[in-house]
Amino acid sequence: IVCSAIDITDKKEIKDNLPALIDPAQLSDFHSHAADYWLREGDRRERLYHLLRAGRDKEAEMLLASHGSQMSLSSDRDLFDLVMAVPCQHNRYGPRIREVRGTVARSVAEHLVALKVSEEQIASDDIDERLKGIKLKGGVLADRQEFPEAYKALVSGRDSVTGVDMDLECAIAEVLIAQGKADEAKGLI
């Protein structure tokens, strides 16, 4: 019925035009029902989208904090947009949300966003989050082929750990190899 009121010939046009024809409160209810449907179907990405559209922000935070790592395995621009739209209002979920944001931003080559997230992590009082931020920063700088800066950032992470963090040492070794310092990297590993 609604579609006959406007000349819509494809699904994209429906998606773009239909929300304007529906009362915002009713549209929010539709998104809320869709979020619940996708919960039953097990599609977390769709659920996240509809939770955000329904204004169910706390549930979106909880979903991203608990399942964001798995979701980030198939990162793309759409997921990046979704992840960045999730508010980070609850301290309980903040560290995990920042980690997912950084991972997704890095995987879609949004280097400036990833560096900003890494700085937020590095500023944390939590040692684990700080170390994750240092690794993210080093990884992004290496992605940008800024190897001396990446090395410096990663080596600074050694002060944050007691003992040896193998992931950190491997990241440092990769940066050394990229700079042609394979012997030094071997000695590290």
pLDDT 10s digit of each residue in the chain, 189 long?
A: 344 445 545 666 766 766 666 777 777 888 899 999 989 999 999 999 999 999 999 999 999 999 999 999 999 999 999 999 999 888 899 999 999 999 999 999 999 999 999 999 999 999 999 999 999 999 999 999 999 999 999 999 998 888 889 999 999 999 999 999 999 999 888
pLDDT tens-digit series, residues 69-87: 999 999 999 999 999 999 9
Count of helix runs (H) and strand runs (E) in the chain: 12, 0
Q: Quote the Cα angle for 48-54-55, to 5°.
A: 90
pLDDT tens-digit series, residues 141-150: 999 999 999 9
Query: Which amino acid appears at position 97 of this protein?
Result: I
Contact 188, 172 (CB under 8 A): yes
Longest dimension (CA), the chain: 71
- Whole-prediction pTM: 0.84
The dihedral formed by the CA atoms of 180, 161, 109 and 181, expressed in degrees to the nearest 10:
0
| Helix boundaries (H) for 44-158 | 44-54, 57-71, 77-85, 94-107, 111-122, 127-143, 147-156
Tokens in use for 100? 């997912």
| Ramachandran angles phi, psi of 87, nearest 5° | -70, 155
